[in-house]
Chains A and B, each alone.
Chain A
Amino acid sequence: MNTGSWDIEVHGLTKTFGTVEAVTDLDFTVSPGTVTAFLGPNGAGKTTTMRMLLGLVTPTSGRATIGGLRYTELPRPAATVGAVLDTSGFHPDHTARDHLSVYARLGGFARSRVREVMDLTGVTPFAGRRTRALSTGMRRRLHLATALLGDPRVLLLDEPGNGLDPEGIAWLRRFLRELAAEGRTVLVSSHVLSEVEQMAERVVMIRDGRLVAAGAVADLYGEAAVRVRSPQAGPLTTALLAAYPGTVRVEALDQDTLRIHGLTTAGIAADAAARGIPLHEITPERPTLEHAFLHLTGHDQGDTR
C-alpha cells in the first residue's frame, strides 16, 4: 500500500483517437494539500487526460498514475480516488439515495456513508427525488457525493462548476479548498479561469493536448502595470524612458492613454508632478491569471516551462 504521498503523475502521456491527437507527450505532477486547476480551452484534452488517469481510456503511450499506481492497479480504487466526470450517469428510475446506496455497496462502504455524504454535499433535501427530475446543479452535487463515498485521498473533477449558480460555485470553492486543506490531492479542470482562480494555488495549463505551463498560480501572474491618461502622453513617455532607461516599458494604448510597466503609481505621479505634466487618470492594473492564461494559451505554442 501507498503510505507516502498521493501524487497524481503524468509522464509522456499520449492519446490518439484515429487521426486526432487528443493528448501529446504530456508531463505534470499534482501534489496533495492544495487545489490544482487543470486549465485549457475547449478540446484541449482535459477530459481525455482525466479519463486516462481513471483507467477509462487506454493511453496510446506514456503513464498516468495515482500514488505511483495505475488506477486499475489500486487495491481499493473507489476508496482512494473520487471522480466527477459527467452530469449524466444516473438511472432515471433511481432516487438520489438509491444511486448512492448502489455505489456504497459496490465500493463496500458502510451504509452510514450515504447519509454522511448527502449531508456534506447538500443532497439531503432532494434525497428521495428520482434522478430524472434533478436539475443540473443537483446532479453535480449527487456526483460529488458519489465521488466522496469512499472518503478518497485524491479527487479528480472535470468542470465541476458547470451548471452551478454563483452561490453553488462559491460553495464548491470553499468545499474543495477544505478537502485539499485536509491533505487531499485535488485536480479540478475548467476552461473558465475565473471559476478556479480563487480556489487553486497551482495550475496546469494545456492547449492542443500539450503542456503550456505548470506551477504556482502566483508565478504565472503577469507583471503589474499602471494605466495612465494624460493630455501630454507623448512628453510623459519620453521623460520616463529617459529617467529610467532599461527598467521601464511604456505601451501606448491610444492617443492619451499609456500602460506603464516597472513603476508604481506613486513613482509615476511624483515624476509627472515634477515635470508639470497633468494626469487625468492613474490606475494600478492588477495582474490577472486571465491575462497569463490568454497570453500563454493564445499565442505561445511552445512549452514555456
Chain B
Amino acid sequence: MTALVSLGRLVSAELRRLAATRLPMWGSLAALGSGGFVGLLALVGPENFDPPVPGLDTAPGVRMLLGLLGMCAFVPALLGTTAVASEYRHRTITTTALFAPRRWTMLAAKLTAYAIAGLAYGLIAVTVAGAALFGAAAIKGVVLGLPTATVLALLSRIAVTMAVYTLVGVAVGALIPNQVAAAAILGAYFYMIETALLLIPGVKELYPYLPGGATAALTGFTFLADALAEQMGGGATSLLSAPLGAAVLVGYALVAAAIAVIAPLRRDIT
C-alpha cells in the first residue's frame, strides 16, 4: 500500500518533470503531424500515388494508410528515449537518485509516466488520422473499404502501439544513457537490423516474437510479413494475436528496463 502511494508520488513527479519541458509541445506537434500526414495521403487518395495503389474504398488501401500511421510509432519511442537519456545528459540523475535511491521504483515510475504520455500521443495521432480518413472519404463521396468498427479497432491498436513503443524507448534510453547512441540504435534496429536478421535461415520462424513481428500483430499491418512469405515461400508467417503482440512488446520493454535497473546498481554515478 505505502509502496503504491510512493509509486504514485514518483509518477506524478515524473509527469511534472516532463510537463515543464518543451517535449510535450514537440510531442503534440509530432503526433498532429503524423496524424495529419496520413490524413493528407488519404485526401490525395492512394489511387493517385505513383505507382497507384488500391484506393480508400478498398480494404488494402485503408490498411496501407493505417500501416503507415503505425510506422510513425517510432517517433514516440524516440521521444521516450530522449526524455530518459536527458536525465543523464543534464546530470539530473544524481539528484533523482538521491531523492529516490531505490532505482527499480524510480524506473517503474518513469515507465508508468511515459506510458501515460505515450498513450496521449497515440490518441492525438489516431484522432487526427481517423478524422482525416473519414473526412477524406466523405469529401470524395466514397465509403471506406473497411467497416467503421474495424477502422476504429485498428486505430485504437495503433494508439496502444504508440504507448508501448514509448515504453520501449524509455527502457532503451535508461539502458543506453547516451542520448544520440540510444536513438541511433533504436532507429537502426527497426529500420535495418531486424530486416537483415530475417535473411538468416531459421530466424524467420522467430519473426512473430521479434519486435517487428509483434508490432505487425498489434497494428494489424502485415506488409512485411506478407512480403516475407512471398519471397521465402513456405506459406504466410502466422503472427501472434494483437494482445499477445502487445504483451511481447511490453516484455521487451520490461527486459530492457530490468537490465537498465540492474546495470546501474553496479554503475557508479560520478
CA distance A59 to B176 in the complex (A): 24
Q: Are A146 and B269 in contact (CB under 8 A)?
A: no
> Per a CB cutoff under 8 Å, which of A77, A86, A93 touches B101?
A77
CA distance A146 to B22 in the complex (A): 22
* Chain B binding surface SS class: helix
Task: List chain B positions with a Cβ less than 8 A from chain A.
Answer: 6, 9-10, 12-13, 16-17, 20-22, 86, 90-92, 94-102, 266, 268-270
Asked if A146 meets B95 with Cβ closer than 8 Å, knowing A57-B270, A91-B86, A106-B13, the reply is yes
In this complex, how many residues of chain A approach chain B with their Cβ under 8 Å: the count is 33
A-B contacts, 20 listed (Cβ < 8 Å): A47-B270, A51-B268, A51-B270, A56-B97, A56-B269, A77-B98, A83-B98, A89-B92, A89-B94, A89-B95, A91-B20, A91-B90, A94-B17, A102-B20, A105-B9, A105-B16, A106-B9, A106-B10, A106-B13, A108-B6
Question: Which residue of the partner chain A has the closest CB to B102?
Answer: A72
Residues of B within 8 A of A51 (CB): 268-270
Q: Is the CB of B9 within 8 A of A90?
A: no
Q: Does A101 contact B (CB under 8 A)?
A: yes
Q: How far is the CA of A289 from the CA of B20 in the complex (A)?
A: 47
Which chain A residues numbered 97 to 146 have a C-beta less than 8 Å away from chain B?
98, 101-103, 105-108, 146
Q: Which of A54, A71, A88, A93 has the most B CB atoms < 10 Å from its CB?
A: A93
Residues of A within 8 A of B9 (CB): 105-106, 108
| Contact of B13 with A105 in the complex, beta carbons under 8 Å | yes
Structural contact, B269 and A107, CB atoms closer than 8 A: no
Q: Which residues of A contact B (CB under 8 A)?
A: 47-48, 51, 54-58, 71-72, 77-78, 81, 83, 85-86, 88-95, 98, 101-103, 105-108, 146
CB neighbours of A56 from chain B (8 A): 94, 97-98, 268-270
Contacts A85-B94, A89-B90, A89-B94; is A103 near B99 (CB within 8 Å)? Answer: yes
A102 to B99, CA, bound (A): 11
**Which chain B positions have C-beta within 8 A of A101?**
16
Q: B96's closest neighbor in chain A, by CB?
A: A106
Whole-angstrom distance between the alpha carbons of A48 and B266 in the complex? 15
Choice from A47, A57, A78 contacting B99 with Cβ under 8 Å: A78
Give the docked Cα–Cα distance between A155 and B55 (Å): 68
Decide yes or no: A71 and B101 within 8 Å by CB, A51-B268, A56-B94, A106-B13 being known contacts. Answer: yes
- Expressed in whole angstroms, the minimum distance between the Cβ of A48 and any Cβ of chain B is 8
Closest CB pairs A-B (n = 4): A105-B13, A98-B20, A106-B13, A93-B21
CB neighbours of B266 from chain A (8 A): 58
A56 — nearest CB in chain B belongs to which residue? B269
Provide the bound-state CA to CA distance between A81 and B97, in Å. Answer: 13
Given contacts A57-B268, A93-B21, A93-B22, contact A106 B91 (CB under 8 A): no
Please determine whether A93 and B270 come into contact, CB atoms closer than 8 angstroms: no
Neighbouring B residues of A89 by C-beta, 8 Å: 90-92, 94-95
Which one of B13, B20, B95 has the greatest number of beta carbons of chain A within 10 Å?
B95
Q: Within 8 Å CB of A88, what residues of B?
A: 90-91
